[in-house]
């Protein structure tokens, strides 16, 4: 009989792990609490409009290709990709913006126009970022985060200083222009921490941005989720939705089964892609590895206030990805990390995918997603959401010189309370735990439980960290770890027993 692996959750990391494990002969079942799969990357459909509820930026296409090539496939077997041009647009004031195009030569020109001599600095910066990218992808991010020695290779030894300086310091050393500095600091926000707390080595995100570019999968990020599901089904994975796991049953330091909707499902190995803190709360206290103090001392990535809006006209002066940096970056960052509170003047990001992909909105209409990063754990009320919706719509109207308030057909919001309710997220974090120096690689929560022999974890709380490409990688490395440890010889059974406790 095959070794039975149950996986909690159906986000990118769980789907990735499911594919690898099923390919290698395990009997894999995914248990997802929600009605739809995809986790943070679910989709919302309303009145003919479509929204990616979470990720919208498709970066590091090589990681996606590497994933599909492990199954002798390519992304093009499942979805088509377009390189966006412009990649994105950044507003600094009324009708005052910088556009980042789709190739580095064009970006050099934009920098040079903004600050004389900056294109030379940018070339040096991106050359170093590319070196870091190559090292990160080849030597680091596919490591399981077990030992500090994983960070020490013939190439990284010369880069160790970059773990002790920060992106902010590096950028400020080379660029005087504050607008250019903000553009170079923006990519590390994906890692969930302030540029002043993110090691310089992570400048590889700048190479992902300027060197590799920004892509759009036709029909959006949820199409990638659908593709992973197709691949998983081809490989024999079983899916159960509306199947929340309520308890993990451990006997003699081994998971024997899980309970979902009151039923007991036996398994040989349990892998959780749900948020780490929540997964441990499904165990009796003595089997948990990390205390409440451990979690409360960690730097979490921000939560977000999101709005999904249908407009009854096409909008002007915006791009598929548009950033609104027309207020002070440091003050907002301070309200996320140092002095958690709702920011008076928030930075925000907006995505208008219907500009490039007609599947997102009916003809002559626009679909928009707005995102304001927030500290996790803040108060979240309908009144506060409304105040911030008005703030950003007013700002958008002002900086892009158009009236849009009268063209809103509907809006849906999603914030801290929804992250907790829908994903069991710790304090409502949107994308896991930040990649600061003390929360990198072997210093992150472990893929394999130290207390329960056949319990594993994957996803944005573990290695390598937040983001869709890291989630795909996390699924791969945990599946390798599972294969490395001899599967436990507990007889597996498909029998569903009633839980009687
Ligand atoms: C608003 C937002 C914007 C983002 N933007 C980007 C972007 O542009 N580009 C990018 O690369 N990344 C982005 N990210 C980050 C990226 O989406 C995540 O890092 C990634 O999707 C996380 O995948 P995961 O598998 O770790 O977790 P999740 O997607 O959270 O999956 C965990 C799953 O576990 C399920 N679950 C929880 N508890 C239980 C239970 N008890 N029983 C059963 N199931 C359970 C949840 O319902 C969920 O489906 C964004 C995230 C958010 C929230």
Establish whether residue 9 lines the binding site of ligand 1, counting it when its CB lies within 6 angstroms of any ligand atom.
yes
Is the torsion defined by CA of 379, 380, 382, 387 positive or negative?
Answer: positive
Mean pLDDT across the chain, nearest whole number? 94
User: 474 CA distance to ligand 1 centroid (A)?
Assistant: 13
Q: Is 278 in the pocket of ligand 1 (CB under 6 A)?
A: yes
Percent of the chain, pLDDT > 90? 88
Contact in structure between 274 and 47 (CB atoms under 8 Å): no
Q: What is the CA(39)–ligand 1 centre distance, in A?
A: 5
Residues 303 and 416 placed together within one structural domain of the fold: yes
Note whether 196 and 232 are same-domain residues. Answer: no
Burial class (CB in 10 A: 0-12, 13-18, 19+), 17: buried
Domain presence at residue 142? yes
166-212 pLDDT, tens digit per residue, is 999 999 999 999 999 999 998 888 888 899 999 999 999 999 999 99
pLDDT-wise least confident of 140-149, 219-228, 423-432: 140-149
* Helix residue ranges per DSSP H, 29-101: 61-69
Which protein residue's CA is at the shortest distance from atom 4 of ligand 1?
55
Residue 463, domain member (yes or no): yes
The domain boundary residue, chosen from 423, 454, 483: 423
Domain containing residue 30: CATH number: 3.50.50.60
CATH code of 343's domain: 3.30.519
279 lies in the same domain as 308:
no
Radius of gyration, CA atoms only, the chain? 22
Residue 204 shares a structural domain with residue 236: no
Tell me if residue 499 falls in helix, strand or coil.
coil
Percentage of the chain modeled with pLDDT above 70: 97
Residues 231 and 303 in one domain: no
> Do 285 and 253 fall within a single domain?
yes
Q: Find where tokens 């999101």 sit.
A: 306
DSSP β-ladder status, 348-351 and 321-324: antiparallel
Residues 75 and 224 in one domain: yes
Question: How far is it, in rounded angstroms, from Cα 149 to Cα 139?
Answer: 12
Q: Report the C-alpha gap between 91 and 252 in whole angstroms.
A: 58
pTM of this prediction? 0.96
Instruction: Please give the number of the atom of ligand 1 that sits closest to the Cα of 460.
Output: 26
User: Which protein residue has the closest C-alpha to ligand 1 atom 41?
Assistant: 245
Q: Quick check: CB of 41 below 6 Å from ligand 1?
A: yes
465 with 360, same domain? no
pLDDT at 413 over 60: yes
Residue nearest to atom 32 of ligand 1 (CA): 274
pLDDT class for 487, splitting at 50, 70, 90?
low
Range of the structural domain that residue 187 is part of = 107-210
Q: End of a domain among 396, 423, 450?
A: 423
3-state helix, strand, coil in the chain (%, to 5): 40, 20, 35
Q: Which atom of ligand 1 is nearest to the CA of 304?
A: 1
Q: 97 in ligand 1 pocket by Cβ < 6 Å?
A: no
Question: 494 pLDDT exceeds 70?
Answer: no
pLDDT at position 491 is 47
Confirm or reject: Cβ of 33 under 6 Å from ligand 1.
yes
215 in a structural domain:
no
Of 213, 221, 241, 274, the one to substitute when testing ligand 1's pocket (max ligand atoms within 8 A of C-beta) is 274
CB-based contacts of 115: which residues, under 8 Å, 6+ apart?
Answer: 175, 176, 177, 180
Query: Does ligand 1 come within 6 angstroms of the Cβ of 277?
Result: no
Residue 369 and residue 310: Cα distance in Å, rounded? 9
Q: Nearest residue CA, atom 50 of ligand 1?
A: 55
The tally of domains found in the chain comes to 3
Whether 284 and 314 map to the same domain: the answer is no
Query: Atom of ligand 1 at shortest distance to CA of 60?
Result: 11
Taking CA atoms only, the protein residue closest to ligand 1 atom 2 is: 54
Rounded distance from Cα 159 to ligand 1 centre (Å): 31
Atom of ligand 1 nearest to the CA of 474: 26
Q: Same structural domain for residues 74 and 149?
A: no
**What is the side-by-side order of every strand in the sheet holding 348-351?**
96-100, 88-93, 321-324, 348-351, 366-374, 303-311, 408-414
Find the 493 Cα to ligand 1 centroid distance in Å.
Answer: 30
3-state secondary structure of 374: strand
Identify whether residues 463 and 419 lie together within a single domain. Answer: no
**Residue of 52, 35, 43, 48 whose CA lies nearest to 410:** 48
Alpha-carbon separation of residue 151 from 135, 146, 215, 273 (angstroms): 10, 10, 30, 24
Task: Examine residue 85 and state whether it is found in any structural domain, yes or no.
Answer: no
Determine which residue's CA is closest to atom 22 belonging to ligand 1: 460
Q: Is 34 in the pocket of ligand 1 (CB under 6 A)?
A: yes
Residue 349 sits in the same domain as residue 370 = yes
Question: Does residue 227 line the site of ligand 1, with CB under 6 A?
Answer: no
Q: Is there an atom of ligand 1 within 6 Å of 11 CB?
A: yes
Instruction: Using the atom order of ligand 1, give the atom closest to the CA of residue 430.
Output: 53
In a domain, 60, yes or no: yes
Residue 406 inside a domain? The answer is: yes
pLDDT, one tens digit per residue, over 85-113 is: 999 999 999 999 999 999 999 999 999 99
Cβ atoms 254, 490 nearer than 8 A: yes
Q: pLDDT class for 151, splitting at 50, 70, 90? A: confident
């Amino acid at each position: 009989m095959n070794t039975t692996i149950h996986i909690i959750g159906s986000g990118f990391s769980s789907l990735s792990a499911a594919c690898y494990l099923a390919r290698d002969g395990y009997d894999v079942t995914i248990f997802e609490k929600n009605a739809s799969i995809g986790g943070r990357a679910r989709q919302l459909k309303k009145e003919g409009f479509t929204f990616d509820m979470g990720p919208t930026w498709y970066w590091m296409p090589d990681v996606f290709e590497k994933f599909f090539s492990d199954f002798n496939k390519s992304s093009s077997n499942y979805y088509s990709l377009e390189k966006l041009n412009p990649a994105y647009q950044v507003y600094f004031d009324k009708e005052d913006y910088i556009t980042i195009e789709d190739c580095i030569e064009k970006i050099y020109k934009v920098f040079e126009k903004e600050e004389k001599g900056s294109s030379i600095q940018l070339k040096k910066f991106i050359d170093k970022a590319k070196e870091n990218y190559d090292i990160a992808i080849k030597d680091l991010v596919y490591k399981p985060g077990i030992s500090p020695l994983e960070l020490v290779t013939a190439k990284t030894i010369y880069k160790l200083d970059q773990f002790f300086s920060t992106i902010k310091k590096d950028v400020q050393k080379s660029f005087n222009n504050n607008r250019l500095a903000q553009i170079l600091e923006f990519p590390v926000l994906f890692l969930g921490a302030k540029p002043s707390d993110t090691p310089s080595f992570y400048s590889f995100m700048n190479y992902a941005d300027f060197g590799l570019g920004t892509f759009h999968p036709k029909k959006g990020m949820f199409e990638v989720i659908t593709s992973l599901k197709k691949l998983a089904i081809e490989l024999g994975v079983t899916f159960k939705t509306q199947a929340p796991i309520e308890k993990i049953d451990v006997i003699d330091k081994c998971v024997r089964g899980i309970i979902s909707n009151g039923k007991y499902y036996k398994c040989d190995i349990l892998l959780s892609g749900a948020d780490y803190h929540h997964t441990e709360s499904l165990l009796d206290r003595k089997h948990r590895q990390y205390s409440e103090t451990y979690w409360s001392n960690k730097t979490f990535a921000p939560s977000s206030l999101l709005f999904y809006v249908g407009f009854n006209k096409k909008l002007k002066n915006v791009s598929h990805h548009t950033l609104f940096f027309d207020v002070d970056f440091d003050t907002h960052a301070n309200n996320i990390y140092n002095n958690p509170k709702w920011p008076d003047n928030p930075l925000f990001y907006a995505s208008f995918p219907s500009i490039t992909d007609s599947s997102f909105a009916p003809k002559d209409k626009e679909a928009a997603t707005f995102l304001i990063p927030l500290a996790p754990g803040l108060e979240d009320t309908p009144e506060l959401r409304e105040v911030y919706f008005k703030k950003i719509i007013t700002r958008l109207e002002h900086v892009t010189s158009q009236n849009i308030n009268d063209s809103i057909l509907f809006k849906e919001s999603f914030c801290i309370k929804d992250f907790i309710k829908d994903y069991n997220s710790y304090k409502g974090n949107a994308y896991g735990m930040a990649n600061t120096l003390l929360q990198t690689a072997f210093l992150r929560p472990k893929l394999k439980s130290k207390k329960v022999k056949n319990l594993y974890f994957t996803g944005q709380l573990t290695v390598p960290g937040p983001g869709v490409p890291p989630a795909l990688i996390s699924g791969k490395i945990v599946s390798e770890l599972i294969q490395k440890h001899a599967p436990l010889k507990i007889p597996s059974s498909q029998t569903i027993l009633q839980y009687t406790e």
